[in-house]
Amino acid sequence: MLQKDEHEVSPDAFRFHDPKSAEEIRNTFQQSVKDAEAFLSELSDQQAMGNFTLRARGKNVFTQPRLGVVRMIMLSHWYHHRGQLSVYLRLLNLPVPSIYGPSADDQGPLAA
């Protein structure tokens, strides 16, 4: 999406793909990481600071430097979902791993 200067989101045309297995999910994720690494390694300073526009149904959602969108989508969004995962783990009575430092479930030397 960020390889272009703008992207049009069409919510009416969006369809979920039902994965057939955990392996398919894992393989898709691994390929996405490789694609993101390749994109970032080839991104010039000029491209990074160039504007990217997201539109939905023909209306401008936002326009900002591509690097800001990378930070927002590739980093901040991941942090948000990592936080959700820790809540789900807690609700399932599973140990919560260290995220920004030891969790209450860690038994390491830094645990409270």
Q: What is the pLDDT of residues 61-99, one digit of tens each?
A: 999 999 999 888 877 777 777 778 888 888 998 888 777
Res. 21 pLDDT band, cuts 50 70 90: very high
Residue 65, SS3 per DSSP: strand
Residue 56, SS3 per DSSP: strand
State the Cα–Cα distance between residues 5 and 50, nearest whole angstrom.
Answer: 8
The pLDDT of residue 78 is: 76
- For 31-51, what is the HEC assignment? HHHHHHHHHHHHCCHHHHHCE
State the Cα–Cα distance between residues 9 and 17, nearest whole angstrom.
Answer: 17
